[in-house]
Amino acid sequence: MSHLVSVNELADLMRDGAVRVIDVRWRLSVPGGSVQPEGVQEYLRGHIPGAVFVDLESELTRHGRPDEGRHPLPSTSQVQDATRRWGVNDGDVVVAYDDAGGLPAARAWWLLRQGGVDVRVLDGGWQAWKDAGGDTETGDVTPEPGTATLADVSRDSLTIDEAAEVPASGVLLDVRAPERFRGETEPLDPIAGHIPGAVNLPTGRHVASDGTLLDLKTLKKNFADAGIGDGTPVAAYCGSGITAAHTALVLAEAGIDAKIFHGSWSQWSNTPGRPVATGE
């Protein structure tokens, strides 16, 4: 089963009343320092009918210490409370979308999937929906609270010590931009470089110019070129755990199970004593 839905597939689900749509539009920063969650302004101006806005910063992550990373993994109870706010009940299908190539939506996909929810990501996101002439609406949506019960959302997430051990027996993917991996620049974290033994495969290489995923043959070649084959243990990390979820989504679409080091480089670089590699 695919972890994605097309615009037409989502429209069919909506006609059948068999889906809860969540809008996970999000920006890392907003010029001018808006006090509202990043993405909510765009949501209020227009969204897929019935979609509930998801605040990534308060519902899909939590505030923590610097040595926990910039977007620490939230607790199961936190995600469950959010899921119920979105109106999700046990057995519901959830479809997440964004306007950033699926990266924020993949964070929701990862957490809900770990929690046992039947969740998909809209391939191409908000732009694909608009390009197809899909109906839209403005304003906020406040559904009746749901009753969904989630399993442990952290079960396939690695600790910092576990992540350090991955290269010894598998592939640890660093999915950031190549210049950050090489240590040539670091715009957000205190130290530039990467985890020793990691392999660089930017998640952007899996996405077409229209925001949809590339064909399965290309995706599998990307992973094979990174040393990932059938049965290879693989884990992904990025800057703060958001983009790594997208790579996990792409891996799942290619039939490859993966784990995520959610603390990612922001945790590694803020933890004294951790070795740092630079270059290729």
Residue numbers annotated as active site: 238
Q: CA dist 181 to 72, 90, 232, 278, Å?
A: 21, 40, 22, 7
CA–CA separation, 177 vs 155, rounded Å? 27
Q: Six-digit token pair at 119?
A: 């969740």
Give the Cα-Cα-Cα angle 231, 237, 240 (nearest 5 degrees).
Answer: 155
